[in-house]
Amino acid sequence: MQDRNRPSAPRYLISPRYLAGPDPAAVTTADDVLLAAGWKATREPCHTDYRDPSGQRHACHLHSRAVHPGRPLMAWEFTASAYSATRVTWTAWFSHDTPPEITAAFAAALADDTPGLVPEDGPRYLLPPQSPHKATEALATAGWIRDIGHQDDSWYAPNEQAVVVTTTVPGTTGKCGANWLCAARRAADEMVLWVVLASPATPTHLMAALCRALTDPAPVPRHTLPDPEIGALTITRYP
């Protein structure tokens, strides 16, 4: 369960946000977003489960940082199903140290039930994926550098400390989805700071929301400063 006794005001504003790091007292979290959207939370000692009113969207927040050999330290898992309690259509994972604003942006797009946005052929969170390029438009606009491979595209931040990789996966109906990997690394030794993974059927508008969050130039509030070895940051005192 999250600690609701948050400090009254953060001390710093930091950019780029993908290097700002985690913050236990973050101003914006996925938990806040999902609860505000009317999702029901079931809190257990080691995790919290969230379900939307239809039962088709699910999120799980793992509180523990227990290590699973060969797997990243995942904190959030988001899924959607065509029917409640059926096999999931897609899954997205966010590691523990992912800046909370990035996870919250994905959660907000997933939970968005604004009238008029739902297409006639089903809910947005179950729409088949479109071309990955529709999701990565924000990266191109922000000046990220594209590296085109045979079956994958990589987009690097201008400082080369963050990357978004899409690997094309042919679908059974002739359509193509993409495995998604987003990550950031420390400047000093290239150690991975956080990682996000998403399966091929993840709807394109959700990945577009993630890309927009990665490139958002607005600084994010933090109560403590990241390690100096993270890399070059713009830091100002909170007004």
Q: What pLDDT does 25 receive?
A: 85
Ranges of the chain with pLDDT below 70: 1-8, 65-72, 116-121, 170-176
pLDDT in tens, 123-155: 899 999 999 999 999 999 999 999 987 778 999
Q: What pLDDT does 174 receive?
A: 42
Q: What pLDDT does 55 receive?
A: 93
- At 125 the three-state DSSP class reads helix
Q: What pLDDT does 67 receive?
A: 55
Kindly provide the residue ranges of all beta strands, DSSP E only, lying in 135-175, ordered along the sequence.
145-148, 152-156, 162-170
42-74: b or e for each residue (b if 16 or more CB lie within 10 Å)? eeeeeebebbbeeebbbbbbeeeeeeeeeebeb
Helix axes 204-215, 100-111, angle to 10 degrees: 150
**CB-CB contact of 104 with 34 (8 Å):** no
Write the CA distances from 74 to 21, 33, 85, 150, integer angstroms.
15, 19, 22, 29
Domain ranges of the chain: 12-237
Q: What pLDDT does 185 receive?
A: 96
User: Does residue 16 have a cis peptide bond before it, meaning omega lies within 30 degrees of 0?
Assistant: yes
Q: What pLDDT does 36 receive?
A: 97
Model pTM above 0.85: yes
Residue 161 to residue 54: CA distance in whole angstroms = 39
